[in-house]
Chain A
């Protein structure tokens, strides 16, 4: 399949324009606020109770030690729930024009027509558009806003929701679960294969907003799906906060390919909480492009619970400017013959900071498991930094764990060398970056490699360079 998603890259949303909202909730993070949100959504009791328990944990849990760069974040100043005017649409024509404009700028409607199997668009806190091809619907595939699934398929949702990523994990997971809203629910029945990707789009349209969308993907036995998550925001003054969650449950023999193109504008603080549980022989691949945001935390985790399951995480982070990209994959080998692979490539420039914190954990029972991690960082100048903190915890003697790391700096000497060949500074850096990413890009599906290439070209062409 040779598809070109080049125009998907949310690069050109421009300045924010006013959007009409029906409901906006803010204030202290109290039980009353959570009850109000739950009531607005018309939720069953169990979901309300889950939210309340999570809220309690949020107040109880300390600020995680690894958090950095979000000290100034004042949650009580944020709008925690915002519902744009209008109802859930299945035709773009029914989406309010001031919102539709953003999606059109990203070329979404054309893409949907050409290459997507289904799409869910969350604007602020609510899905404003959701559509799945009829051919898939008739096969029993479900894709709908998560809250709609809570109402329509309570038993199915309840079995998985919050079971893959417990809110007790850390403060921001608890915050998410207490205030979650929006996101996509996906169910693929056993033996159903969806070749063309499903896509979820998350936009934050106004400053000082919190977005807590929840995506739950259930892949039935021997099913196959390809899910793309894209995040974007227009420019505005004042920060916004994204604390979304992705839970994937891959049943026996299922394959899930999950791709994130995180390109928030530079005033968004981003927490990506992503986790998958893999049954016997299942496979989950994460491809994470961490490109935008002021500060971003992205730690996809795969729990290989079933024998012979396997997972891969490919991560590319760019911190160009006074931004922080904190990320790393976590691979938990909990069954025999499980296999994982992590490739992380980070680039910091113009004062940027990238941090890799990975975890490979092999439990005692995971005989003959194999894990390979490779993290490389490229530092483009002396004002930028990169840190790597790999962590391996291996309790199974028959397993193999390999970790490789490299760090390269484009110092004054290297830069002078490239300039002395007639290249401008931006061209020299862009060339070094493309070289650094090259062996990774050739492994990626063409369309994702293209997305990354164009984002890099745009990042580095601001100085007049050409990728």
Chain B
């Protein structure tokens, strides 16, 4: 079933058109890799799907499970089952990981009191998820993303991704800053999302991660447009050639 459908999306940020007609689909149980050089509009697409302030949709549409989400706020979209793992999640001083996880889990369970402990079976899930992402209990008492290493931030994002049980995961460079073992661990989690039937929009600049996470479809953005679309062979080509071949395709007409 179709989860996400982006239709001819034009997006303006601070008066500049960043996305110039992007279309893309993600189905259940599918990994869709979104690639492209820096500044091609990958993160902009992710933020726009979540309705971030300042990302203005000038035309086009974003459908989730067949319904347009353009009229919904960020938290409403999240509660429909869309999750975004940020490339560089912000620090939130004072807010410790543990009460934060309790709050977002309680919210998912539609419990009124967000500061209460979640039910015991859910707490057991937290323990398992910690292990899966390679974090330990002491991390729970650390302030959110404060003093986290690059790798710990990625792991914390995936931890939330597991516990919030979304239908669609948008993962923005989930492997940057990780060593080889870290990349394998992340890949294992992403593959398990696919097995559970979730849709994954995997944003990555390099093809490194895709060797461990075979994508079902690859879309390459370049200067705010879809430059190439196809299967895993595109990722392989980028791995060997980089993005130089794009100069000969789309975007040339603009300059």
Contacts and interface: CB of A to CB of B under 8 A. Distances in A.
A334 interface: no
Contact of A466 (B52, B94, B114, B164): B114
Interface in B108-152: 108, 112-115, 143
Interface in A279-332: none
Contacts of A435: 92-96, 99-100, 143
Q: 10 closest pairs, A vs B, by CB?
A: A435-B95, A436-B94, A419-B74, A435-B94, A422-B78, A408-B93, A421-B104, A419-B75, A413-B90, A422-B79
Given A411-B90, A418-B92, 9 more contacts: A416-B52, A419-B74, A421-B107, A423-B104, A431-B95, A431-B100, A432-B95, A435-B100, A436-B95
Interface in A410-431: 410-414, 416-425, 427, 431
B68 interface: no
B115 A427 contact: no
Interface of B: 47, 50, 52-54, 73-75, 78-79, 83-84, 86, 89-96, 99-100, 103-104, 107-108, 112-115, 143, 160, 164
Contacts of A411: 90
Given A435-B92, A436-B94, A420 B54 contact: no
Contacts of A421: 75, 78, 104, 107, 160, 164
A419 B112 contact: no
A466 B112 contact: yes
Contacts, number: 87
A419 B73 contact: yes
A414 B74 CA distance: 13
A411 B92 CA distance: 10
A414 B90 CA distance: 6
Interface residues of A, number: 29
A466 B106 CA distance: 11
A410 B75 CA distance: 17
The residue among A412, A416, A436, A439 with the most chain B CB atoms within 10 A of its own CB is A416
A449 to B, nearest CB: 13
Interface of A: 378, 406, 408, 410-414, 416-425, 427, 431-432, 434-439, 466-467
B108 A436 contact: no
11 contacts: A416-B74, A417-B89, A419-B74, A420-B75, A420-B83, A422-B107, A424-B75, A435-B92, A435-B93, A436-B94, A438-B94
The interface residues of chain A, by DSSP majority, are classed as helix
Given A416-B53, A417-B90, A422 B95 contact: no
Contact of B164 (A410, A422, A437, A439): A422
A420 B94 contact: no
Nearest to B163: A421
Nearest to A453: B115
B115 A420 contact: no
Contact of B92 (A417, A427, A437, A467): A417
Contacts of B115: 434, 467
